[in-house]
Amino acid sequence: MEQFLLHNGLPALFVLSFLAATILPLGSEWLLITLIFNSFDPGSVVTVATVGNFFGACTTYGIGLWGSVFLLQKVLRIDTKQIERATALFRRYGSWTLLLSWLPIIGDPLCLVAGSLRFNFFLFSVLVFIGKLGRYAFIAAVTSGSLS
């Protein structure tokens, strides 16, 4: 496994980060930390993870925009309560909630709700990218600091 990660580290991180930002219950932080501990450049690792996670969030936005009730509830098995919670949060606090799209449990539904509400994609992109970059940069900084 270690050889696989060292040989395919950044592409594997991109795929895992992408999938983690969709409705799948995955996390990519462990791989980011592992790659930094294995001497991968923290800047490259943060960039790849951020871009992959951002594209995953855009996919979730698209599912919200074009997805049917059947797709959301039967195929993806998205919990209606999570969507209702995310919708209430989004309506109450507005677009700034998208900065929290990196949070477990509520982040993916926020992106889904933004799509279903046909929220401005440019503003969605800026806020989500900033939130995801901030999370990965923080993790990398803490991880790199622990190597010193």
pLDDT in tens, 88-133: 877 888 888 899 888 877 788 889 889 988 899 999 999 999 999 9
pLDDT at position 128: 97
- List CB contacts of 100: < 8 A, sequence separation 6 or more: 106, 107, 110, 131
In this structure, what are the phi and psi dihedrals at residue 41, rounded to the nearest 5 degrees?
A: -65, 120
pLDDT at position 48: 97
Total of domains in the chain: 1
Over 90: is that where the pLDDT of 12 sits?
yes
Q: Could you tell me the end-to-end alpha-carbon distance of the chain, in angstroms, rounded to an integer?
A: 26
Cβ-based burial of 17 (10 A; exposed 0-12, middle 13-18, buried ≥19): buried
Using CA atoms, how far apart are residues 139 and 132, in angstroms rounded to an integer?
Answer: 11
Query: b or e along 61-72 (b: 16 or more beta carbons within 10 Å of the residue's beta carbon)?
Result: bebbeebeeeeb
Query: In whole angstroms, how large is the CA radius of gyration of the chain?
Result: 16
- AA identity, residue 66: W
Over 60: is that where the pLDDT of 75 sits?
no
Residues of the domain holding 36: 2-147
pTM: 0.84
